[in-house]
């Protein structure tokens, strides 16, 4: 017995030593060699402001562009960036999507793509009075540039153009061919990006790094980490909606049957809510936890994050407690629509509900369907796919790849003491199409605690315009 106890004690001591050693040796990344950052070009702020004043609202469902405005925007780009217009051949795809090609000196390297979209979501008429600036005024005040689209996503487009124009002015010739791709309908159909990628495929083109909007920098809510965190999107969750329909003979509400269509469906919805899909730590999120672990200032949290081999289940359990982190480790299911009944004294024959799901990489819409069917376990409920918009989770970009490392380096060169970590995106962007032609799609632009996306008071810090400009400049220069 004594022997067993001492073996157990030794084992425990060994585990404890490994845990402590892994915790204390988990050190932040060493500093990078400082690079010289360039000053923001003189006209950059005025260009940003002018871009906002052109109301390039996203075309509606039947793809009706406000042609005059989109043409004015084209003219504006041609005039504001004369060197790009003169030197980089432009291809126009599907009316208003642009590809500018900057030939590199070494054509054996696959080209890099810097992309953005310039359509914007409309401003809600009833909310205009809540704005602190004119939504399309392009006002510059209190160290911000204000207006619809300044963050999403004209900040990226203007910064990319400023960076390219400035390098052309200096006579810079890139080694790697660089494509600047700008989309006109990301906020609606995304048809433009699909057409552009189809065009690339028809030419058998493949790409190296592709950088699009998505991940950003956060300095808020990082409880145990004091440094800003830059989240680089490396994959997108999928999207599917299931339609659940219950049918039961209705009739007069004065003589009800024991169960109604509403009862059957409510019961099913309750089962789904009470039985979330199991948690799963996917490679991007495991890499995210690894990346931030060294910077955690709470010893016990750092210990758990540095030893996922031992503490994985408690870490995952903790993540599942907050909606934002829960969404990273689970395929989520949530009822979003519930319809039934026409009159207060009529028992309805049908009840219908929608369950919206965001799917983790490695799972599929079919997995979601099968899971919901199993949990409900009621053959009287018909389950179908809501086809309007459905997309499977994207493949993910490897965080050890040269693509990710290149963006990580650029971010760390532009933002002091930043923690860079991969992230799974819960929304969809134009760049998902590019995964067919590149293994290196990442989503990032160095906006900090950005506010007002699709809502009121959309605004960009002027210091962020500087950061975006520097970020794209480093990528263009290949530094």
Q: Which residues bind Zn ion (CB under 5 A)?
A: 152-153
Please, what is the minimum distance in Å from the beta carbon of residue 382 to Zn ion? 36
Which phi and psi (to 5°) does residue 145 adopt? -105, 130
Q: Which is nearer to Zn ion, 340 or 431 (CB)?
A: 431
Q: Which is nearer to Zn ion, 153 or 162 (CB)?
A: 153
Cα 262 from chain centroid (whole Å): 37
Rg, Å, the chain Cα set: 26
CA angle 405, 407, 408 (to 5 degrees): 60
- Cα(369)–Cα(239) distance, rounded to whole angstroms? 12
Unique residue bearing structure tokens 């048809």 = 191
Short-list 216, 156, 111, 201, CA closest to 433: 201
Q: Which is nearer to Zn ion, 152 or 464 (CB)?
A: 152
- Cα(228)–Cα(230) distance, rounded to whole angstroms? 7
Q: Which is nearer to Zn ion, 371 or 444 (CB)?
A: 444
Please, what is the minimum distance in Å from the beta carbon of residue 300 to Zn ion? 38
Q: Which is nearer to Zn ion, 151 or 415 (CB)?
A: 151
Helices (H), 64-205: 67-80, 82-87, 155-169, 191-202
Q: Residue 384's CB: how many other CB atoms inside 10 A?
A: 11
Please, what is the minimum distance in Å from the beta carbon of residue 477 to Zn ion? 26
Please, what is the minimum distance in Å from the beta carbon of residue 475 to Zn ion? 19
Q: Which is nearer to Zn ion, 57 or 153 (CB)?
A: 153
By DSSP bridging, strand 238-247 and strand 459-461 are unpaired
Query: Which parts of 76-190 are beta strand (E)?
Result: 90-93, 97-102, 112-117, 140-141, 144-146, 178-183
Q: Residue 214's CB: how many other CB atoms inside 10 A?
A: 23
Which phi and psi (to 5°) does residue 91 adopt? -110, 135
Helix (H, G, I), strand (E, B) or coil at 157: helix
Q: Which is nearer to Zn ion, 153 or 236 (CB)?
A: 153
Q: Residue 291's CB: how many other CB atoms inside 10 A?
A: 22
Q: Which is nearer to Zn ion, 191 or 477 (CB)?
A: 191
Q: Which is nearer to Zn ion, 111 or 233 (CB)?
A: 233
Please, what is the minimum distance in Å from the beta carbon of residue 209 to Zn ion? 19
Please, what is the minimum distance in Å from the beta carbon of residue 400 to Zn ion? 28
| DSSP single-letter state for residue 435 | G
Helix (H) or strand (E) holding 265: helix 261-274
Please, what is the minimum distance in Å from the beta carbon of residue 179 to Zn ion? 19
Please, what is the minimum distance in Å from the beta carbon of residue 213 to Zn ion? 5
CA angle 420, 425, 431 (to 5 degrees): 100
Please, what is the minimum distance in Å from the beta carbon of residue 205 to Zn ion? 24
């Amino acid at each position: 017995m004594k022997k067993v106890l001492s073996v157990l004690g030794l084992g425990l001591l060994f585990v404890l030593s490994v845990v402590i050693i892994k915790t204390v040796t988990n050190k932040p990344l060493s500093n990078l060699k400082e690079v010289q950052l360039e000053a923001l070009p003189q006209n950059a702020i005025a260009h940003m402001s002018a871009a906002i004043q052109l109301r390039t609202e996203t075309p509606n469902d039947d793809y009706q562009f406000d042609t005059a405005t989109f043409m004015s925007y084209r003219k504006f780009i041609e005039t504001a960036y004369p060197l790009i217009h003169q030197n980089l051949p432009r291809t126009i795809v599907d009316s208003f999507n642009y590809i500018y090609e900057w030939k590199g000196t070494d054509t054996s390297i696959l080209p890099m793509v810097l992309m953005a979209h310039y359509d914007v979501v409309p401003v809600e008429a009833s909310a205009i009075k809540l704005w602190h600036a004119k939504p399309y005024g392009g006002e510059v005040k209190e160290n911000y540039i204000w207006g619809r689209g300044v963050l999403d996503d004209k900040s990226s487009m203007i910064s990319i153009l400023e960076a390219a124009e400035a390098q052309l002015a200096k006579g810079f010739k890139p080694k790697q061919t660089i494509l600047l791709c700008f989309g006109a309908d990301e906020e609606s159909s995304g048809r433009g990006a699909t057409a552009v990628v189809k065009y690339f495929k028809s030419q058998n083109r493949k790409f190296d790094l592709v950088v699009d909007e998505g991940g950003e920098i956060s300095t808020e809510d990082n409880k145990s980490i004091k440094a800003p965190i830059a989240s680089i999107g490396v994959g997108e969750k999928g999207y599917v909606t299931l339609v659940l329909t219950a049918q039961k003979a209705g009739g007069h509400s004065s003589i009800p049957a024991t169960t109604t269509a509403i009862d059957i469906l409510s019961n099913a919805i309750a089962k789904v809510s009470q039985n979330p899909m199991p948690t799963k730590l996917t490679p991007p999120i495991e890499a995210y936890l690894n990346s931030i672990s060294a910077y955690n200032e709470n010893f016990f949290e750092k210990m758990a994050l540095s030893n996922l081999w031992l503490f994985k289940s408690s870490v995952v359990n903790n993540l599942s407690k907050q909606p934002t982190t829960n969404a990273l480790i689970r395929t989520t299911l949530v009822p979003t629509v519930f319809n039934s009944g026409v009159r207060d004294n009529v028992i309805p024959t049908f009840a219908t509900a929608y369950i919206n799901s965001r799917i983790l990489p490695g799972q599929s819409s079919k997995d979601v369907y099968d899971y919901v069917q199993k949990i409900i376990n009621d053959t009287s409920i018909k389950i179908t796919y809501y086809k309007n918009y459905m997309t499977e989770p994207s493949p993910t970009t490897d965080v050890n790849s040269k693509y990710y490392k290149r963006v990580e380096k650029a971010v760390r060169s532009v933002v002091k003491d930043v923690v860079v970590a991969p992230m799974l995106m819960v929304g969809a962007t134009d760049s998902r199409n590019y995964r067919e032609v590149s293994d290196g799609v990442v989503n990032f632009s160095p906006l900090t605690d950005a506010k007002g996306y699709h809502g009121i008071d959309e605004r960009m810090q002027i210091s962020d315009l500087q950061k975006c400009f520097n970020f794209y400049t480093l990528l263009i220069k290949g530094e």
